[in-house]
Amino acid sequence: MADVRSVAHRGDLFEQRIREQGSEELGRRIDLLVAGCAHDPPPYLERFGAKVTGVDEDLPAVRALMPGRTDLHAWTLGDLRSVPIPPRSFDVVQVTFVIERIQHAELVLDRMLNGLRPGGLLLLRMRDRSTAYGLCDRLTPSWLRRLLWRRLVRAEVREQIAGPLPAVYEPVASREGMHAFCLMRGLMITDDVTTVSGPARGRIGSAVVRVVDKLSRGRFTSSYDEVTMVIRKPHNHFARLI
């Protein structure tokens, strides 16, 4: 299925949590890392003085977009499994619609967490592989994905996003997978929100996911497709070091 990333509006959950994190730091500047930065704008923080660093894959479409970005203080392109991320250098890491699109997702998440300072926040948005939409996205053949991308995605969006986006969906790309991942690493999930977004909200998309929900007898739900989580890295010195 053709996928379009939703936009984090001003005043959303991520911005609120970043502001709260800033108040805990007693006026110190917040350092924010945005993974998948080419198509994922940082929260609206002009008055907050956050320093924003971006990382993304080194693809031609991504490379063409980056020179015009004025909302990033610095950016780096490369393989997310090896792109430089200094350890314990960021207060907040934002990862939006990346985890379900990449291979070795747990390795990438561990590298992002390694870049967090103790007490820092991981802000995560992803499509859930265990939902009706996630199943459809995973099973749609590549030729049909390309056809749907050209026909269903608006021209202005196609200019900004090099699609169709990959549909990898490793086990960690689900609510249950992320809860297990966080449990194994001693991380605390402070917010866990689900919603219906993207193609699943459209007339055709919503009809398809409802049919999948019914045929699977609820195993693959149509009640949501997007998961938003706020995850805190512990201060505890005896917690597993990440």
- In single-letter form, the type of residue at position 111 comes to R
CATH topology of domain 13-128+165-196+225-232: Rossmann fold (3.40.50)
Q: Where are the beta strands (DSSP E) in the chain?
A: 31-35, 51-56, 74-77, 90-96, 116-127, 188-195, 226-232
> In this structure, are strands 51-56 and 31-35 parallel, antiparallel, or unpaired?
parallel
Task: Identify whether the C-beta of residue 192 lies closer than 8 Å to the C-beta of residue 175.
Answer: yes
Domain borders along the chain are: 13-128+165-196+225-232
Task: Identify whether the C-beta of residue 190 lies closer than 8 Å to the C-beta of residue 234.
Answer: no
pLDDT tens digits, one per residue of 177-231: 999 999 999 999 999 999 998 777 888 889 999 999 999 999 999 999 999 999 9
pLDDT tens digits, one per residue of 86-121: 999 999 999 999 999 999 999 999 999 999 999 999
Helices (H) then strands (E): counts for the chain? 8, 7
Q: Is 89 exposed, middle or buried (0-12, 13-18, 19+ CB in 10 A)?
A: middle
The confidence band for 11, taking pLDDT boundaries of 50, 70 and 90, is very low
What 3-state DSSP class applies to 35?
A: strand
Task: Identify whether the C-beta of residue 213 lies closer than 8 Å to the C-beta of residue 158.
Answer: no
Q: Which one is predicted more confidently, 176 or 46?
A: 176
